[in-house]
Amino acid sequence: MADAVTICECFARDGLQHEPEFVPTATKLALLKSFAEAGFQRIEATSYSHPQRVPGFADASELLAELPRQPGVAFKATCPNQKAVQRALDDADRGAGADELSLLVSATENHTQRNLRSTRNEQWARVTEMVRLAGGRFRLVGVVSVAFGCPFEGHVDPGRVVEDVARFAELGVDLVTLGDTTGVATPRTVADMFSRLDRARPGPPVVAHFHNTRGTGIANAIAALDAGCRHFDSALGGVGGHPSKISYGAGLTGNVCTEDLVSLFDAMGVETGIDLDALAAASSACEEALGRPLHSMVARAGFSGRPAA
């Protein structure tokens, strides 16, 4: 495969869901604009989560209505249930909706109950109905959480994850994301998973979504790259993880740092389409928005071969 990858910038959704304080809509819009200008073709913008459960996204419809639309840039919203898809449809009818919707399942029963308040069978039934409701009006992204290990059940059978990817493929989704939700994957388990998927496919492209909880996120991303993966999720500053009101997980639960991932890919000659100067500016803007230094090593040291700002 060509040495080119697509990175979805997840700061504004997966990143901000971990923040205890609401980030103003105008601030989010300015950040999303900077992400698009940096060259990201896929950007996770918000979630249609219940505003009482995840109040940081209570402005989802307002945000989507004001998004800085640019040719070739797709904005994504997460949909946990049918009501969320209906909200996405209502926004789309007003000409202000998302381009992509994420539909969620978990690879284990306990995580499904804690995160989605249903059983796996119930959630798969919901997802099937959500695909029907979406009616082909959005690019659909299936998400398998805790794909490499569960905080409640421990080891996850890779065969079950392969089956979940196949179920999403049967529903006709455009991409399937594998989430290492609490950062327990290793390069070996990543290589094994992608090898299994390669043998089981054809199917939709798989997105690698790693968390850096145990400092292995970048290593896992390179293992996925070597295994043929060309789609990645990451978040500027390595923020995020799980909603602030959910108690599972410990340590640094956030995503792989976009700055660090792009810097490494760039140094390896892997094309990302991201402008490094614009990315550095977006990184600084994210730290300013949250009022603290974030977790990117590159934000401190500078991109390879370039001095820090």
pLDDT exceeds 70 at position 307: no
76 forms bridges with which residues in the sheet? 44, 100
Which H or E run contains 105?
Answer: strand 100-106
| Domain of 12, in residue numbers | 6-301
- Flag whether 309 is in a domain: no
Q: Could you report the per-residue pLDDT of 135-185, keeping only the tens digit for each?
A: 999 999 999 999 999 999 999 999 999 999 999 999 999 999 999 998 999
Residue range 185-195: mean pLDDT, rounded: 97
- Flag whether 167 is in a domain: yes
pTM, 2 dp? 0.94
Q: Is 215 exposed, middle or buried (0-12, 13-18, 19+ CB in 10 A)?
A: exposed
∠ CA 94-98-103, nearest 5°, is 125
- Flag whether 176 is in a domain: yes
Structure tokens, 283? 């990184």
Say how many CA atoms lie within 13 Å of 228 toward its Cβ: 12
- Flag whether 243 is in a domain: yes
pLDDT exceeds 50 at position 299: yes
Distance CA 28, CA 239 (A): 14
- Flag whether 307 is in a domain: no
Structure tokens, 303? 């991109």
SS3 248: coil
SS3 222: helix
Residue range 254-278: mean pLDDT, rounded: 96
pLDDT exceeds 90 at position 246: no
Q: Could you report the per-residue pLDDT of 86-139, keeping only the tens digit for each?
A: 999 999 999 999 999 999 999 999 999 988 889 999 999 999 999 999 999 999
- Flag whether 294 is in a domain: yes
Q: How much is the pLDDT for 1? A: 45
pLDDT band at 201 (very low <50, low <70, confident <90, very high): confident
Identify the residue with better confidence: 290 or 20: 290
pLDDT above 90 as % of the chain: 83
Q: Supply the CATH number for residue 163's domain.
A: 3.20.20.70
Give the total number of structural domains in the chain: 1
Q: What is the overall mean pLDDT for the chain?
A: 93
Distance CA 161, CA 223 (A): 18
Q: What type of residue sits at position 300?
A: R
Angstrom distances, CA of residue 221 to CA of 180, 184, 186, 191, 260 = 11, 13, 10, 10, 11
Distance CA 276, CA 267 (A): 12
Residue range 247-263: mean pLDDT, rounded: 82
pLDDT exceeds 90 at position 296: yes
Q: Please report the DSSP string for 106-152 in residue order.
A: ESSHHHHHHHHSS-HHHHHHHHHHHHHHHTTSSEEEEEEETSS-BTT
pLDDT exceeds 70 at position 74: yes
Residue range 1-19: mean pLDDT, rounded: 90
SS3 string of 49-96?
CCCCCCHHHCCHHHHHHCCCCCCCCEEEEEECCHHHHHHHHHHHHCCC
pLDDT exceeds 90 at position 52: no
- Flag whether 102 is in a domain: yes
Q: Answer whether 73's CB lies under 8 Å from 37's CB.
A: no
Query: Taking Cα atoms as reference points, which of 203, 196, 252 lies closest to residue 224?
Result: 196
Which H or E run contains 225?
Answer: helix 217-226
- Flag whether 308 is in a domain: no
Residue range 219-238: mean pLDDT, rounded: 97
